[in-house]
Every structure is written in C-alpha cells, then in structure tokens.
Amino acid sequence: MQRIVQHSVSLPAEPARLYSMYLDPTQHAGFTGGLVRIAAAPGAEFWAFDGRIHGRILHLMPGRQIVQTWRSFEWAADDVDSILALTFEAEGSGARLELVQVNVPDRLYETLQKNWPMRYLDPWRAFVERGAA
C-alpha cells in the first residue's frame, strides 16, 4: 500500500527566498548538513545526504512550487518513485511551506513522517533564523 506524507510549517522567510534556498546546492547543503546536487531546471538530477536520497526535478513554478521524484536508499528496487511537492505561500512576514509526498511505501511511512521535520524542516528554520542564507 502507498501512503502520503504531509507537513505544513511556517518558516521565517519569504516564499521566493525559501524556493531559491532549496534549489541552490550550497544553501540546501547549509541546512541539511551534507553535499547536495540540485539545479533549478526540470529534468535536473537531485541528490542529498551523500546520495542516500535522489530524484529529478519534474516541475518548477518560480518562487512558488517545486515538484520532484524522490526515493531513498530504503526503497526496494520494485518500489515506484515517490513524488514530492513543496509549495510556498506568503504568511505574515514569512511563508507557509506545504510538503506533500505521495507514493511512499507503507513500511517507510512512519520513518519519513518523522524524518522530514528532523532532517529538513527544523534545520531549515534554524538556518534561516541564524541568518545563514
């Protein structure tokens, strides 16, 4: 069975800034703590955490949305890629990030539900709050 992981968080930066940070390999690495390959172009390869997660950029709405394929080293060979959509909306002086990841293997749902805040969302917030970007 496939599951859907969802998170909605407020971050203290404008949507366009967050969008750009995610697509910039240096800034992305700054908040995830490891080397990242990513480019702001549909079809571009993506990998992070020393290749432990990888995929391709499928669609970009500049300053607003990023859609990519996504899978981790924990995916079985016959698991379909998940699709990750990150949507950025203005909220007060910052932004609301809506994260939706579909086609998550049932056996990995709890891990991903827990890991998104721990590995991405909380470090991203701390990175922005430190003014590191």
pLDDT beyond 90 at 131 = no
pLDDT of residue 98: 98
Render the chain in DSSP notation, one character per residue. Answer: -EEEEEEEEEESS-HHHHHHHHH-HHHHHHHHSS-EE--SSTT-EEEETTTTEEEEEEEEETTTEEEEEEEETTS-TTSPPEEEEEEEEEETTEEEEEEEEEEEEGGGHHHHHHHIIIIIIHHHHHHHHTT--
User: Domains, the chain, ranges and CATH?
Assistant: 2-129 (3.30.530.20)
In this prediction the pTM is 0.95
Does residue 128 surpass a pLDDT of 80?
yes
Residues 15-33 pLDDT 10s = 999 999 999 999 999 999 9
Over residues 52-78, the pLDDT tens digits come to: 999 999 999 999 999 999 999 999 999
